[in-house]
Structure 1
Amino acid sequence: MNVNKLIAILVFSVLISCSGDENYVEVPDENSEGIVDSLVIQQIFGSNIDLDNLANYANQNIPDYITKDNTNTNVITDAKATLGRVLFYDKNLSVDNTIACASCHQQAFAFGDNNNVSIGVNGVTGRHSMRLINTRFARETRFFWDERANTLEEQTTQPIQDHAEMGFSGQNGDPALADLLTKLEALDYYQELFQFVYGNTTITEARLQESMAQFIRSIQSFDAKYDVGRSVVQNDNQQFPNFTALENEGKDLFFRSPNQNGAGCITCHAAPEFDIDPMSLNNGVIGIFADATATDLTVTRAPTLRDIFNSSGIINGALMHDASMATAIDAIEHYNDIDATGNTNLDNRLRGGPGGNGQNLNLTIAEIQALEAFIKTLSGTSVYTDAKWSNPFIN
């Protein structure tokens, strides 16, 4: 324990003894900043957060071949990402203190959900929760399956203001976002964290958005088998020396266009980030969860193909917005034979040849299995275990 923390503990003990109330904590004035702060932070977070030794969010290693970056002006700092981590995991951001962002975006599942449809404070949400892997390294900067949020910053507070998800909608009897800000201002640890990060205790929606977006953008996965192979070759078209024959075959199919007997996945999911082309339209999946008669043509976004599986090869929950595909094989088979009937928003790259009746790749079972093997090489390890992305609250 350093001298400053020892002094802080002694001061804290004196304050308690003078107050006669063991729950009493004096609000620090401008000249005592950091003394009571660290005590309250330790009480809530233990060793998970140390304001004197912040986790590294700002200067993580990024491979040289990764070129996309949608950070723009909201540059990641260790302090703001730390605040974002607390907000991301805090159930106080829901009206009944039962749901956090992390409830639907779980580290164990690549910051996605293994439930088909996530549970909110007022029932189920409308769509399967999207994985939040490598959101910083994507050409598509709009968010949600239907791209209704213009930026990641805007996206972060929309679930909070959704009646079903976290409940601060301000409509039909729900409290509003302003009520959440008041709620957070009453929590000692946010007084201290905002003072530490911003130099004052003012809590605003813009600050919530800024810090949560920084934390989410910090979540990266570049230690996959693919990355090991890519780092020792000049480009993706070469055989990766660490791949099996099946994995190299799957990679070749992934990159080769349909008119060359490939699958052409690369046209919508460009390597090495494997993010979605922002110009993509609907992918042929138009279902609505639990309603076999309804259709949804507005879904045009998708997460990166990285970490569909965990490091043990187990899928991180069902695929597609309606969780209609339980396996990667199901998804590949969907792209192998797409029916364009009635889909006025189907991406032109999936309409097939003359007539535009839908794509038919004529992939064999062996080729489909090879594609699955390649997709598994896109899964990392540290994203599931790194403490800086874990729940900071003491359980």
Structure 2
Amino acid sequence: MKNQLILSLLAICGLTSCSNNSDDNYEEIPSYPFVEAEFGSTVDLGNLANYANQTVPAYIIKDNSQGNLITDKGATLGRVLFYDKNLSSNNTISCASCHKQEFAFSDTNVASTGVNGTTGRHSMRLINSRFASETKFFWNERALNLETQTTMPIKDHGEMGFSGENGDLSFDDLITKLNAIGYYKELFKFVYGTEEITEAKIQSALAQFIRSIQSFDSKYDAGRALATNDGQPFSNFTAQENQGKNLFLSPPVFNTNGVRTSGGLGCAGCHRAPEFDIDPNTLNNGIIGTIAGTGIDTGNTRAPSLRDLVRTDGTTNGPMMHTGVITTLQAAIGHYGTINLAPGNNNLDPRLTPGGVGQQLNLTATEVNAVIAFLRTLSGTDVYTNTKWSNPFN
């Protein structure tokens, strides 16, 4: 009602702004009629959501923003782009079609649906993508950074269809398309000071929005805030959760046959606390199949953060690994329990082959259940429902 009253007064005055004194200098009040018509109160450019100054725990020290720092304006534009199906050639697919908020920005399908088929790898969760030493993106790290990654699905024939090949429209055609949409003229001017739309601006805004998606309200975070370091028992953990944490963090001790005789599971060797991101030097983890189940694909060496693998109710946020072949935490731990040296896999991480043989962790049911209990402490709740990461078109 307040906004409607202001607009009515402006119309009565016949001016962008009005004053009782005709000698006053008039201050232009920006208006965004296309944004307001499309989004209503879900995108309020006069009262932006907090993306730039979110609370980050002091023990989180990694940040791969690389000069593209999050701004409230940029992330707001990125949110619109992320959810807009206009970014696909047939107006049916958005980034959010494969990265759904209710599943920690992943997909419950093994392969996500695109405009011309399905994706070649399972859609990776986007939780805490900013807080990682690894700056490359996609499972096989083919994107040098998040900015580059953001428009690659748009330019993919199977995913969003602006490839410029196989009869597809080109990315330049997408730019023309967006230029004809009123709310983009207003949003790009609001963020960048000009209506000009470029791929670099799209990449910057999308990357800011994705990096803003963070999850630090888990049971783990509550415990870590009270502890001196990760190795210390957390006062809010159960005995089982603390046991699982120790097993996760502690390296295993192997005999000459690659069988664990003592120690932990060594998960933190690749998935490093407290961010639980992937070590950039990590190689293949032994899963070398393709999503279709045939062929060898050994180049997949990246992984998302282990945060929010599951919801707090214990249900998974979709299948795991680039093939989606693993659907439970028990199966994920079991995979590392016995590593097979598959023919053709010349990219297997040496940390999984002590003494040149595939590791055998010799796990007990008690250990597996303890690690599962710990992994569940890494899940928060806010990321699933916070409106600043939700669909503005709803």
- So what's the TM-score if we normalise by structure 2? 0.92
1:94 equivalent in structure 2: 88
Task: Write the deviation string for residues 126-164 of structure 1: whole angstroms up to 9, x where unpaired.
Answer: 010000000110010000000000000000000000000
Equivalents in 2 of 1:359, 1:163: separation in Å?
40
Classify 1:85/1:242 alpha carbon distance in 2 versus 1 (closer, same or farther; 3 Å): same
Does the Cα contact within 8 Å between 1:261 and 1:361 map onto a contact in 2?
Answer: no
Task: Write the deviation string for residues 293-318 of structure 1: whole angstroms up to 9, x where unpaired.
Answer: 41110101000000000122210000
Task: Write the deviation string for residues 353-387 of structure 1: whole angstroms up to 9, x where unpaired.
Answer: x2x12111111121111111100000011000111
Instruction: Identify the range of structure 1 (253-262 vs 101-110) with the bigger mean alpha-carbon deviation.
Output: 253-262
Q: Secondary structure at the match of 1:373?
A: helix
Equivalents in 1 of 2:322, 2:281: separation in Å?
18
Equivalents in 2 of 1:49, 1:154: separation in Å?
26
Cα drift, residue 40 of structure 1? 2.0
Equivalents in 1 of 2:13, 2:157: separation in Å?
45
Cα drift, residue 14 of structure 1? 11
2:63 equivalent in structure 1: 69
Q: Secondary structure at the match of 2:370?
A: helix
Equivalents in 1 of 2:54, 2:172: separation in Å?
35
Q: Secondary structure at the match of 2:211?
A: helix
1:290 equivalent in structure 2: 292
Equivalents in 2 of 1:234, 1:339: separation in Å?
38
- Identical-residue share of aligned pairs (%): 60
Instruction: Identify the range of structure 1 (274-283 vs 255-264) with the bigger mean alpha-carbon deviation.
Output: 255-264
1:267 equivalent in structure 2: 269
1:19 equivalent in structure 2: none
| AA aligned opposite 2:119 | T
- Alignment of 1:226 with 2:220, yes or no, is yes
Gaps of 5+ in 1: 16-30
Q: How do residues 228-247 of structure 1 correspond to structure 2 at under 5 angstroms?
A: 228-247=222-241
Equivalents in 1 of 2:112, 2:197: separation in Å?
28
The correspondence for 1:124, drawn from 103, 118, 126, is 118
Equivalents in 2 of 1:90, 1:294: separation in Å?
34
Does the Cα contact within 8 Å between 1:341 and 1:357 map onto a contact in 2?
Answer: no
1:196 equivalent in structure 2: 190
Equivalents in 2 of 1:215, 1:186: separation in Å?
23
Equivalents in 2 of 1:106, 1:50: separation in Å?
23
Q: Secondary structure at the match of 2:331?
A: helix
Equivalents in 2 of 1:119, 1:14: separation in Å?
52
Q: How do residues 1-395 of structure 1 correspond to structure 2 at under 5 angstroms?
A: 1-2=1-2, 6-9=5-8, 34-35=30-31, 37=32, 39-259=33-253, 260-291=262-293, 293-342=294-343, 343-352=345-354, 354=355, 356-393=356-393, 395=394
Cα drift, residue 42 of structure 1? 1.8
Q: Secondary structure at the match of 2:102?
A: helix
Gaps of 5+ in 2: 15-26, 254-261
Cα drift, residue 244 of structure 1? 1.1
Equivalents in 1 of 2:381, 2:248: separation in Å?
23
1:20 equivalent in structure 2: none
Number of residue pairs matched? 373
Equivalents in 1 of 2:74, 2:231: separation in Å?
39
Instruction: Identify the range of structure 1 (376-385 vs 359-368) with the bigger mean alpha-carbon deviation.
Output: 359-368
Equivalents in 2 of 1:303, 1:13: separation in Å?
55
Does the Cα contact within 8 Å between 1:93 and 1:160 map onto a contact in 2?
Answer: yes
- So what's the TM-score if we normalise by structure 1? 0.92
Classify 1:12/1:189 alpha carbon distance in 2 versus 1 (closer, same or farther; 3 Å): farther
Equivalents in 1 of 2:106, 2:49: separation in Å?
23
Task: Write the deviation string for residues 246-278 of structure 1: whole angstroms up to 9, x where unpaired.
Answer: 111100100111114210001101100000000
Note the aligned Cα RMSD (angstroms).
1.6
Equivalents in 1 of 2:171, 2:146: separation in Å?
18
Equivalents in 2 of 1:119, 1:13: separation in Å?
50
Cα drift, residue 33 of structure 1? 6.7
Equivalents in 2 of 1:207, 1:305: separation in Å?
30
Equivalents in 1 of 2:145, 2:29: separation in Å?
34
Task: Write the deviation string for residues 162-212 of structure 1: whole angstroms up to 9, x where unpaired.
Answer: 000000000011000000000001000001101111111000000000000
Equivalents in 1 of 2:335, 2:295: separation in Å?
19
Does the Cα contact within 8 Å between 2:157 and 2:168 map onto a contact in 1?
Answer: yes
1:28 equivalent in structure 2: none
2:259 equivalent in structure 1: none
| AA aligned opposite 1:379 | S
| AA aligned opposite 1:314 | T
| AA aligned opposite 1:371 | V
